[in-house]
Amino acid sequence: MKIIVCGAGSVGRSIVAYLSRGSNDIIVIDTDFHKLDEISKEWDIQPIKGSSSHPDILEKAGARSADMIIAATNCDEVNLVTCQVAHSLFNIPKKIARIDSSSFLAPQWNMLYNEENIPVDLVISPEIEIGKAILEVLKIPGTSEVLTLAGKKVYLLAFRCQNNCPLIQTPLVHLEHLAPELDINIVSIVRNGRSFIPRGRDIINPGDEIYFLVAADKIADTIRNFGMERTPNEKIIIFGGSLISEYIASRLEQDDNIQSVKIIDEDEESARYLADTLEDTVVIHGEMMSDVILNEAGLPSADAAIAVTSHDKDNLLASLLAKKRGVSSAISLVNSRAYDNLIDNVSDNILIDRSSVTISSILQELRRARLTDAYSLGRGFGELWEIRVDADSLIADRTVAEIGLPKTSLIGAVCRDETVIFPSSSEKIEAGDLLIVFVSTQDIRKVERLLT
């Protein structure tokens, strides 16, 4: 697939990082030569210097033969004009625009985005999606990743298994005897940086990161069985003033269970803006690592610390400092995959991967299978697909075994009406079923062919 990515900032880089894993021809446009130089050193892309909203720049980038354009600069207006030019002059089939301004995102202006007005096939808001991902993790303390699936009937939860977990060293085949009420499907275990689908004789080790599917009404039982109970997150401190922190704070202000929200921002202008915009959030202007500022913010008594600056090192350092001060939940935004190798060395700190969150918002457009929804998992080892089985589907009336998925992928759950089924190999797939499929990275093309 030939894809033009407009913008080599943090959002554009996160998109390129994911697209580079597949057999895609990627062209990146940006006005900043240094950003283009950095991104071209890291990935095999074609850099084009200039504004993506200019027709001559798009023509130079090969827009006439492009399959998709992703306008992801930090200017909404440039992104919208880029999609208009891509449609009117070059007839690019798929046009995706990054939009950050709440004015453009307001529901009453949805009619803007169509072929008659502004031809955008998909609007994405990476900063808001990152904020949503962080809020989901805050809701279930102890988790490192939370995805809501099938209209909130099913959740994917991830957590790092601690030494006090009552189920460690237990073969999975014995879990139902040890915890009869436990009803989950473990889709992957990450151990020493390697992901695998566990089988019946595999055991859970301390330090394993476990990804599993669970019905919404079974979450509380599952947390108890795995020993994941944590105190609720009521006092929140956010490091860094940004659209992400503004979104998180504005939502937490509406939560009656939250006692306090404080933002530490080193930039005076953005601190003033946040103080004027937010109602109940305390905004503190000062150095994030200053003992005086941290004590003023009440870090030792906080339940959760969230670091969402634009610098990964600052985020990781702030989270480690928060853990050292006794904060139970520390969440860091990671903008670059270069820090993946640190994940297993940052204790139980929670890392939110910008690349995975951003790509999840466009993944449905990238896959050839007809997907209801799709998500990239945080460690980049696989994807979750939601697929509705139509009456004319080739997999209807077949058993799970007969579909023939690779051994490193699986149908994790079947939603049939209001029932959630964790299927065996003999389960027959019916028309109308909603399948939740875990697809490992190396199986994507093969599974697409099987399910298309």
Q: Which domains does the chain have, with CATH numbers?
A: 2-124 (3.40.50.720), 130-225 (3.30.70.1450), 235-353 (3.40.50.720), 360-451 (3.30.70.1450)
Query: b/e map of 350-389 (b: 16 or more CB within 10 Å)?
Result: bbbbbbbbbbbbbbbbbbebebebbbbbbbbbbbbbbbeb
Residue 145 in contact with residue 119, Cβ under 8 Å? no
Strands (E), 44-203: 46-49, 68-71, 94-98, 122-124, 145-149, 154-160, 184-191, 194-196
Cβ contact 306:247 at 8 Å: no
CA distance 157 to 148: 9
Alpha helices in 183-333 (DSSP H): 219-225, 243-252, 268-277, 291-297, 312-324
Residues in the chain: 452
**pLDDT value of residue 349:** 81
Could you write out the three-class secondary structure of 22-73?
A: CCCEEEEEECCHHHHHHHHHHCCCEEEECCCCCHHHHHHCCHHHCCEEEECC
| Residue 275, amino acid | A
Q: For the whole model, what pTM was predicted? A: 0.91
CB atoms near residue 424 (< 10 Å): 9
What does the pLDDT read at residue 272? 96
Query: What does the pLDDT profile of the chain (452 residues) look like in tens digits?
Result: 999 999 999 899 989 988 988 788 999 999 999 999 999 999 999 999 999 999 999 999 999 999 999 999 999 999 999 999 999 999 999 999 999 988 888 888 778 888 788 999 999 999 999 999 999 999 999 899 999 999 999 999 999 888 888 888 889 988 878 888 889 999 999 998 889 999 889 999 998 999 999 999 999 999 988 888 888 999 999 999 999 999 999 999 999 999 999 999 999 999 999 999 999 999 999 999 999 999 999 999 999 999 999 899 999 999 999 999 999 999 999 987 665 555 555 556 899 989 899 999 899 888 877 899 999 997 778 999 999 999 888 899 999 999 999 999 999 999 999 999 999 999 999 999 999 999 998 999 899 988 87
Question: What is the pLDDT, as a whole number, of residue 341?
Answer: 55
pLDDT at 378: 78
Q: Identify the pLDDT of residue 346.
A: 56
pLDDT computed for residue 215 by the predictor:
96
Task: Report the pLDDT value the prediction gives residue 3, as an integer from 0 to 100.
Answer: 97
DSSP 410: E
pLDDT at position 294 is: 94
pLDDT of residue 340: 54
pLDDT score at 23: 82
Q: What local confidence, expressed as pLDDT, does residue 380 receive?
A: 77
> How far apart, in Å, are the Cα atoms of 312 and each of 73, 126, 240, 249, 309?
20, 17, 12, 21, 7
> pLDDT at position 347, please?
54
Measured CA distances, 343 to 208, 263, 331, 378 (Å)? 12, 25, 12, 11
* CA distances in angstroms from 92 to 4, 11, 59, 229, 237, listed in the order given: 10, 21, 11, 50, 44
CA distance 452 to 448: 6
Nearest one of 362, 435, 348 to 158, comparing CA atoms = 348
CA 47, CA 30: separation in Å to the nearest integer? 8
Q: Give the model's pLDDT for residue 343.
A: 54
CA angle 25/441/123 to nearest 5° reads: 60
Chain Cα centroid distance, residue 7: 20
- As a whole number of angstroms, the distance between CA 369 and CA 409 comes to 15
Question: b/e per residue, 173-195, with b = 16+ CB within 10 A?
Answer: eebeeebeebbbbbbbbbbeeeb
> Would you state the pLDDT for residue 339?
57
Q: How far apart are the first and last CA of the chain?
A: 17
